[in-house]
Amino acid sequence: MSVSYPQSWRSLTLPNVRYELVDALEELSNASRTAAWRSPDPNGPVVGIESIVHFFFDDLDWGDHSIGQSLFDADELAAVQAVASKLEAILATTPGAAKQFWRGSISDQNAYFIDHPLWPGVQRAAEAASSLLSVKGSATRADES
C-alpha cells in the first residue's frame, strides 16, 4: 500500500506521521468509528483507545519540534495538544493500577473511555483539530483512489 501526499505537505519531513494523525483524529471525532470499538473484530484492523493512546503518548510527544515535521504551525500544534490533554484527563482517572487496566479486555478499555463523562470533550477537540488539519489537504492510499 502506498500513500500519495498532497503538494501542500511537501515541506513536512514526516508526512507519514501527519497521515496517521489525521486518521487518529478522524477516528476520535467520528461517532460511528468509535462505536465500532465496543465490539472490535479480532481479525480486523487494530482500533480502539489503546492504539490511540499509544500513538499520542508513546510514539510522539507533540512538542514544538513537531512543527515542520508533521504539523505546519503553532495553531495545529495547539489543536493536537488540546486533544492529547483531553485524553490525558481521562487517563488520569483510569481505575486501579494503570498496568492492570491495560491488561484487561480491549472492549472494557474502549467502553471506559467512550462512556467517560469527559469523552465528549475529546471528540470536540479531535473534531476541531481534524478540521484545522484538513485545510492543508489530505493524503490518499493507493487502494482508495
Q: Over the stretch 123-142, which tens digit does the pLDDT of each residue have?
A: 999 999 999 999 998 888 77
Domain count, the chain: 1
Within a domain: 108? yes
- Residue 89's domain comprises 7-136
State how far the Cα of 140 lies from the Cα of 6, in Å rounded to an integer: 8
Output the pLDDT for position 143.
65
The three cell numbers of residue 53 are: 493512546
The answer to the question of residue 2 being in a domain is no
Q: Are 31 and 41 in contact (CB under 8 A)?
A: no
1 domain-assigned: no
Least confident interval from 3-7, 58-62, 96-100, 107-111: 96-100
55-90 pLDDT tens trace: 998 888 899 999 999 999 999 999 999 999 999 999
Confidence of residue 12 (pLDDT cuts 50, 70, 90): very high
Reply yes or no on whether the pLDDT at 28 is more than 80. yes
CA quadruple 3, 87, 103, 42: dihedral sign: negative
Q: What is the pTM of this model?
A: 0.88
- Would residue 105 count as lying in a domain? yes
In a domain, 42, yes or no: yes
Domain contains 91: yes
Cα 44 from Cα 42, distance rounded (Å): 6
Do the domain assignments include residue 144? Answer: no
Residue pair 53/47 in contact (Cβ under 8 Å)? The answer is no
pLDDT of residue 71: 96
